[in-house]
Every structure is written in C-alpha cells, then in structure tokens.
Structure 1
C-alpha cells in the first residue's frame, strides 16, 4: 500500500492548482458566499480544464480514473479554498446510475455530469425520516400503466439547479420498509414538483431545499434498478460517495491549518510571534497529526475500493473520523486567528460554517458508530 503520488496524479494536482491560481477566486468566493450565489465562474474554469471527466467511463466521454486519484483531486480543491457542496466531479455520486440505471438514464445523467452540472438531487431524507429511514413515507403508486409519486423530501442539495431527482419511495409491496423502497429518476420540471428553499447557516453558495411531490407522473421505465431494492442500491453507493465528502473534510482542514500556520508565523504579540508560544504550537502539532491521520485513513479506504476489497466498515469509520477531526482542526485554526478568524474577511469563518454539516449529512457520526459497530461485532462472532 503505497500512497506516493504517481506522475499522473502530480500532473493533475498541479493542473488544478494552476486553474485555481489563475482564477484568483478567493474574493469571488467571498462575494458568492455573501450573496448566496452559486460560484459558476469557478465551476466553468474547472469544467474547461476537464476535471468533470475524471472517473466517468470512456464510453460516455469520460476519463477512467481510480477512486484514490478522484479523492486526492477533491481534497486538493478544498485545500485551495474551493467551496464545499459545489464540487464538480460527480463520478462517485452517479455510481447508482452507472450500476443500476438503464442505458437512457445513464446517457442523460452522465451527460450532465460531464458538463459540471449536478445531475440529480437525491430524494431520500424526509421531514419525519432523517436517520430513521424506515419512517420514509413517500409513495410510488402504480395506476393505469403509470407510476405516481406523492410525498415530501427535505435537505435536497441543489434542487433548484439539478435537472433530475433520484427519489426513494415506498412501493407498497412488502411490509418491511427496507424491502419495499424503490428508486425512480424523473425530471424536476414535471408537473407536481414544487421546491421551497431552506435557510441554512452555512454552504451559502449551494442552495438546499424541501421538495413537495404531488401526484408526479412517472413512467415505469423511470425505475432505477430493481423494484423494492432501492434502499440496498443506495447504501452501496453511499459507501463510495462518502469518500468525496471525506476528501472535502480533509481539504477544508488543510486549508484552515495552512492559513493558521502562516498567521502564527507572522502575528506579533508581547513582542514575539504567537507561533513561539507553546500553547499555539501544541494546537498546530495536534492539527497536523489529525490531518495526517485523516489522509491515511481516507487513502487506505479508497485504495481498498480500487483493489476490490469491501469498504462497508471503512466508509463509516472514515466518515465519522474525518467529520469530527476536520471540525476540530478548523475550530483550532479559528482560535489561533483570534477575532479576525470570526469575521467574513477570513475564509476560516466560511470553512467553520460550511464543514459543520458534514458531521450530519450522508449519515450522522452517531449512525456511523451504529453501522460500523454492529459490523465489527458481527466480524468477531
């Protein structure tokens, strides 16, 4: 297991740095954050440089790329200050469509992915069903050769921009909810779809919405994969998709650490740089240890995925650890910066607000204990 970067990986990361430096996006990101606007200019620059193609199969116009490389690129982008939830490489996110979707669904979704457009918003969480997935109540009812979707979904990322929804619904076939969920893919502009924006404390550049579904008419061919297998299909994809979230965690932690380190080496107090004080040094050392540990766990999990090993446990471990450790690093970075770190002039304040949700979304850190813990006990029996 060797994580020394290959020549191809070094070239990719250098190219990414060049795009970000040439764009000089930091002031632009501040403006977008302040105005709650999507950073389209930065997205366009990365699309033009070809970063949307990574990990997409060649037959769809993509560039075959292993999971570890995709993770490294996503991490580096966030380390350079790219805003979370706005990442434009959707290879891990569309894995469900690649694995279970039909040819028509694959061509539509991957076409949008290559353009740097979020192909679909995931209709999973509901107002009464967060971690308790079994409480999901949205239904898919067959009638006269059609399927009608009714219910409410919430915390839908980019529902205002995504052309499709990948919606998990009760099929009304099996009593057990986990054996009754099916996945349907349908356009967001279909009659009966209405969205309502949520007012969040962070990730201002990417809108989050509640989606109301009132008798949304679908074709039976809009089914993704097998009927009543939707939950298991989605959980399999979550294992991979969580790695991109974890890469963002590591990248944001690195971004905050680098800024705090530079500040500690320059800021004068009591006639000395604050980096000469042992309490500040202790924070910086512990921050660096956490970053190293996050990277090692993340890279190992990506490596296992690329080598055909199960990451069922690993994806939960790395999701829980990077979410917590990244927030601790960013919080310590803000402490080192002092009052200036709590202002909008310092991007650490944005990182502090934006990263916090990664301890909740795509599986809370408490649920990660549940999924990994019971699997570990099962292994030991």
Structure 2
C-alpha cells in the first residue's frame, strides 16, 4: 500500500497549516471558549481562502476533492484545535445525495461563505439512540405541511440558517418506511430554540428545539418521503468518519504537547521524559495515534472507491474516539496540574473530546452496528 501523500495534498496541507497558524491562535481559541462564542473569524478565513469550497462540485462554484483529502484537512483542523462547525462534509454529502436543486444551491452557497448550512433535528427526549421511538410529526392540511415535535441536543441550532427536521408517520410502525426529512428555515414561525449548557463545545450551541405547527411546503421534503431513516443512516456514515478524523487530530495535538513538556519539565534532578513510566505513556499514545490514522485513512479510501463504510465507519469511530480520549487523558497526566487549568489547551481538548463518544452514535451503538455487520458477513 502506498501511504505517500500526493504533491497536491502536500501543498494543500502546507497552505492550510499556514492559514491556521495565522488565524487559529491559542489566544483566540481561548477567548471564544471563555465567552461561549462561535469562531466566526476562523470560519470566514477558511471560506475566503477557498477551503470551505473543497468537496463541492464545480457547477456550484466549488473545487472537487476526494474524501481522503478532506479527512486529512479535518485531521489537521483538529490538531490546530480549530473551532466547531468546520468542515461542512455532512451537510454537503447529505444535500448532494438527497437534496433538490433549490436545496443544493442554498446549502452549498452558505457552506462556501463559511456558514454551516443546517442543523440536524433528530434526537428527542424519548428517542436518542433508538430513533424508532421518534414522535415528531408532519401533518398535511389545506395544501400545506405542518411540523410538530420536540427535539433535543441539536448542535448549531442557533447558528445555522436552516434545520433538517426528521419526522415520523405515527400510523406506520416500521421506521424503515415511516420517517421523512424536512428542510426548514431556522426563523420559521412556530420554532422555539432554548440553549443547553454544556461542559464543553463552548464555541457552538446545543439546543432544545420546539416545533409548533411549523408550516412548510411539499417541496421542502428532502429526499424521498418515508425513506428518512435510510437517508439518516447514510448521513451517520459520513458524520462518523469526519468526527473520527477531527478528534484524531485533537489527540495528536495533546500528544505533541505532552512529548514537548516531557523534554522540558525537570523533577528529581532530571527531565521527566527520562523516566520509563512517562516513556511508556508516550509510546502507547504513539501506537494509538498510528492505529487511528490507519483506520481513518482506510475508511476514507473505501468511501472514495465506492466501498460500503457502514461497518468500517462504526469500527473507526468506536476505536478512534475512545483512543483519542485516552491519549488526551494521558497527555493531561503527563502535564500534571498545568494540564488541568484553563491556561493549557489540553484541558479544552480533553473535555471537548469526551462528547465524541456520544455524538453521531454512542460507543454502544457503534458496537451494535459493527457487531451485527461482522456476524452477517460470516453467516
């Protein structure tokens, strides 16, 4: 297997790193974290320099690139500690696969301006991992469609101009044929947004969203009516790969900080890196990062080559998010007290990484998906 990056990928990553070193400073990241503000400056810089147009077809003003290249950028973005909301792979992949021409145009235009086009309204108080228990509805009357329901843990609900709302037909007990997706402006009448308060991800909102007779048109359905569950599963595959790439970069940042600190910090008359217990931690951290890279890159390669990533994306996310948190936890241990303070970025990376074991599907759901797929393969 050839692990060498192409010349184009190398040049792209060099340019990306240079931009991030200039715009995505630790001082700025600490400021938006403390103030609970989105990283607008960084997101705008990425858009202005064309990085938010990557992966978008030329007919929509974008620059096509493969998924592996996008994951390399996502990894580098995580390594820089970049603010939440970028890249827009999930929205772009969703809309290109299932969206109408109008939805594609609006979504891809927002993405290229540095704005996450839509938030995903899937989870409900009674329907988390078990999406089949969803109770939000879409009811037709007088030539219109009215959405009603209560969604929770909606990431980016305050920032994104649109919402992708998942509803279920209550008279149909089969989730495979009873769910639909609706494209709704965030400012539509009948939508109420209430922010939740989290221990991490301070630079992006996470909200309760209430839908009360929200009026939409038939044209606002995304994809095929009744096929929302199948479309959602496709969405999750891309989301899981992207999350894995991002948090892997975060783990690499923590590892590098810990290794540098071990070369500088002196205790008992010598640098702590001389102690074998510290060397052991760093060694296993390096092994985990190498394993993570292999899984993420292979999964992205599979997607690029039309190979199903239903199982591999679940395996990748499960291993990478768990291992990333372990690496960041060990980084904090090596740093000691300073790593637990707000003065060091590892504390932010550590608490932000924890949510990846829930978002996009919990560890337990990843085991369920992968385990079921493995057994099916050898049946």
TM bucket normalised to smaller: over 0.9
Alignment correspondent of 1:54? 54
What secondary structure sits across from 2:21 in the alignment? helix
Query: Which residues in structure 2 correspond to 1:84-233 (within 5 Å)?
Result: 85-87=84-86, 89-172=87-170, 174-233=172-231
CA distance in 2, matches of 1:180, 1:86: 30
Alpha-carbon distance between aligned partners in 1 of 2:167 and 2:78, rounded to the nearest angstrom: 34
Deviates more, 1:72-81 or 1:331-340: 72-81
Q: Which residue of 2 aligns with 1:12?
A: 12
Q: Which of 339, 342, 346 lines up with 2:340 in the alignment?
A: 342
TM-score (norm 2): 0.98
Are residue 74 (structure 1) and residue 55 (structure 2) matched? no
| In 2: Cα distance, 1:254 partner to 1:95 partner | 26
The residue matched to 2:62 in structure 1 has which SS? coil
1:22, distance to aligned residue in structure 2 (A): 2.1
1:43 deviation in Å? 1.4
Distance, in Å, in 1 between the alignment partners of 2:294 and 2:367 is 20
Aligned-residue offset at 1:24: 5.6
Aligned partners of 1:156, 1:92: CA distance in 2, in Å?
15
Matches within 5 A, 1:370-381: 370-381=368-379
Distance of 1:105 and 1:342 partners within structure 2 = 44
In structure 2, how many angstroms separate the alpha carbons of the residues matched to 1:217 and 1:293?
48
> Could you tell me how far 1:236 is from its partner in structure 2?
1.1
Q: What are the superposed Cα offsets for residues 40-93 of structure 1, whole Å, 9 maximum, x if unpaired? A: 11112211111101101111111100000000001011112213x332x21333
Farther-moved stretch of structure 1 (322-331 vs 39-48)? 39-48
Contact 1:25 1:42 in 2 (8 A): no
Give the distance between the partners of 1:160 and 1:242, measured in 2 at CA: 23
After TM superposition, where is structure 1 displaced by more than 4 Å over at least 4 residues in a row?
Answer: none
Q: CA RMSD in A?
A: 1.0
Q: 1:304 Cα shift?
A: 0.8
Q: Does 1:21 align with 2:21?
A: yes
Say whether 1:254 aligns with 2:266: no
In the alignment, the residues of structure 1 paired with residue 65 and residue 138 of structure 2 have an alpha-carbon distance, to the nearest angstrom, of: 36
TM-score, normalising length: structure 1:
0.98
1:245-324 correspondence runs (5 A): 245-324=243-322
Aligned to 1:34: 34
Query: Would you say the 8 A contact 1:260–1:333 is kept in 2?
Result: yes
Give yes or no for contact 2:318–2:367 (8 Å, CA) kept in 1: yes
Aligned pairs, number: 379
Q: Secondary structure at the match of 2:216?
A: strand
Kept in 2: contact 1:93–1:241 (CA 8 A): no
Question: How far, CA to CA, are the matches of 2:297 and 2:24 in structure 1?
Answer: 29
Deviation at 1:173, TM superposition (A): 5.2
Q: Which runs of 5+ in 1 are unaligned?
A: none
- Equivalents in 2 of 1:137, 1:185: separation in Å? 18
Secondary structure at the residue paired with 2:90?
Answer: coil
